[in-house]
Amino acid sequence: MNGKVVILGAGAVGTTVATYLKRHTCHEVTVFSSDTHTAYSQCGIPFVLEGVIHDFPDLIVRPLDAFVDMGIDLHLETTVKRIDANSQKVISDAGIFEYDHLVIATGSLPFVPPIDGKELDGVFTLHTLSDGMKINSSINDASRVLIIGAGGIGTELAGSLAVRGITVTMVEALPQVLPLTIDPDMALLVQQHLNSLGVLVVTGAHVNSINGKQHVRSVSVQGDTVPTGIVPSDVVIVATGLKPLSGIARDAGYKIGITGGIVTDEHLRVSADGGILDNVYAGGECAEVKEFVTCSPFISRLGSAARRMARVIGENIAGQDAVYPPTLSPNVVVVGEVTAGSVGITSHTATLNDISVVCGISEGRTRAGYFPGGSQINAKLIFSNRRLVGAQVVAREGVKERIDALSLAIRMGATVDDLLEWETAYAPSVSMIIDPVTFAADDAKMKMDGLA
């Protein structure tokens, strides 16, 4: 095989597809990105702002030379204006490029609501390495930072800046932090930890305006339950979600789904009026895939999902028949010292989808009671027709791995009885004799059987 592959985007999907193709095929590979940097860890940015990671270049996991050495034709800071689907060409700042296979991995952009004053100096979003650098050079220990939005990025950032000693206020329109990924009872644990770090969390509140002449000076916040107030702020970070960068695909005639992402089939191929295209793929945050539990259209924000999609796209371009199955996209957010993880659907999503659920909860410790250094751990399991459909865990350790286990449990169709037969390991320094997850399953089963 010796065709031309053009990849739009040099994030996790773009670079992984390019690398895969260079390793396993003889294709010419050209990659475009509007970003200044590539192959860096977006998820690591809050840790640099916190001071745990020394500096931003530490987040670059692969130097540019590595791509050049592999023979990848990489164009950074380059805008792709248009895809000419008929002639199979991409029109960019750097010229016109033909393709045999096209991969759209343009990612996402922060969504900024139309708030008065959003263009003032000192107002940022946090998406790229450059964003992180700008924020870093704008804050100092005396800064008062206001974060709009308490999703994953907002809460991680609030935790990081608070640990650094900065005065942080976080404003969230919905009545809880992390509203898309965990239930209110579990979110309260995260909110309490943020409070303990000194973060003022204002939920159920809107930002009316960002105030200042050239530079932000304050933010007007209107609460559902709190009085309207003016919060003095030196820096404002807008973290109100992301929108898929799918415009260029839409302009080319490719189908866009209700999520705003590019519709893909199980091979991650895009479709147009004439049906599914055999040589155009989309992956990552610009692509709409299927969620595992509900089978609804879904956009996965995860680097791990991106890597899997890239592998599927790479294998398909290499002539294999690879499939990207519906995704659970298990999620962990590290807020200060606490990790909050979730997989599958929340109670709220269940209600939206008319799925009747029974929840089991438990509170335990990550190590034997007498062992130093352990942490409180809270687990919540969500069952529908006795089958696990969602799980949430909050603790200072052991969260990611338990969420992983429960991700497998959901995918394999585990019932509450399977979870009760599940044997877990024990040593005083790393666990309780019976894992807290087992107790949560026990709680759910008692409710199902009408015993609780």
Q: Is 43 a catalytic residue?
A: yes
- Establish if 376 lies at the interface with a copy of itself (CB under 8 A): no
From the candidates 26, 43, 286, 295, give the one annotated as an active-site residue: 43
Q: Which one, 192 or 304, has the nearer CB to a copy of itself?
A: 304
Sole binder of a copy of itself in the list 128, 316, 339, 347 (CB under 8 A): 339
- Establish if 403 lies at the interface with a copy of itself (CB under 8 A): yes
Q: Which one, 282 or 406, has the nearer CB to a copy of itself?
A: 406
355-374 residues in contact with a copy of itself (CB under 8 A) are 368-372
Contacts with a copy of itself, 270-309, as mask; x by CB under 8 A: --------------------------------xxxx-xx-
Stretch that binds a copy of itself, among 67-75, 110-118, 194-202, 328-336 (CB under 8 A): 328-336
- Establish if 329 lies at the interface with a copy of itself (CB under 8 A): yes
Q: Which one, 61 or 96, has the nearer CB to a copy of itself?
A: 61
Sole binder of a copy of itself in the list 330, 374, 390, 436 (CB under 8 A): 330
Q: What sign does the dihedral 243-244-246-250 (CA atoms) show? A: negative
* Residue 250, CA distances (Å) to 84, 172, 244, 307, 364 in order: 12, 31, 11, 24, 49
Q: Is 373 exposed, middle or buried (0-12, 13-18, 19+ CB in 10 A)?
A: exposed
Q: Which one, 328 or 440, has the nearer CB to a copy of itself?
A: 328
Which run of H or E residues covers position 97? strand 95-98
* Residue 277, CA distances (Å) to 15, 98, 295 in order: 22, 16, 22
- Establish if 321 lies at the interface with a copy of itself (CB under 8 A): no
- Establish if 430 lies at the interface with a copy of itself (CB under 8 A): yes
Q: Which one, 219 or 305, has the nearer CB to a copy of itself?
A: 305
Stretch that binds a copy of itself, among 132-140, 313-321, 429-437, 443-451 (CB under 8 A): 429-437
- 297-298 and 73-75 strand pairing: unpaired
- Establish if 422 lies at the interface with a copy of itself (CB under 8 A): yes
- Establish if 411 lies at the interface with a copy of itself (CB under 8 A): yes
- Establish if 414 lies at the interface with a copy of itself (CB under 8 A): yes
**Adjacent-strand bridge partners of 108:** 244
Sole binder of a copy of itself in the list 400, 446, 447, 448 (CB under 8 A): 400
Sole binder of a copy of itself in the list 81, 121, 226, 426 (CB under 8 A): 426
CA distance 314 to 318: 6
- 358-365 and 376-384 strand pairing: antiparallel
Provide the 3-class DSSP secondary structure of residue 265: coil
Identity of the amino acid at 12: A
CA distance 347 to 354: 10
Contacts with a copy of itself, 27-46, as mask; x by CB under 8 A: --------------x-xx--
* Residue 100, CA distances (Å) to 105, 124, 179, 199 in order: 16, 39, 42, 52
- 205-212 and 216-223 strand pairing: antiparallel
- Establish if 431 lies at the interface with a copy of itself (CB under 8 A): yes
Pick the closest to residue 420 from 449, 398, 397, 395 (CA basis): 449
Sole binder of a copy of itself in the list 167, 191, 327, 392 (CB under 8 A): 327
- Establish if 386 lies at the interface with a copy of itself (CB under 8 A): no
Question: What is the DSSP annotation of 161-179?
Answer: HHHHT-EEEEEESSSSSST
Question: What is the DSSP annotation of 290-343?
Answer: EBTTT--EE----HHHHHHHHHHHHHHHTT-------B---EEEEETTEEEEEE
The set of catalytic residues is: 43
Which parts of this chain interact with a copy of itself (CB under 8 A)?
12, 41, 43-44, 47, 52-53, 58-59, 61, 302-305, 307-308, 325, 327-334, 339, 341, 343, 368-372, 397-405, 407-409, 411-412, 414, 418, 421-431, 433-435
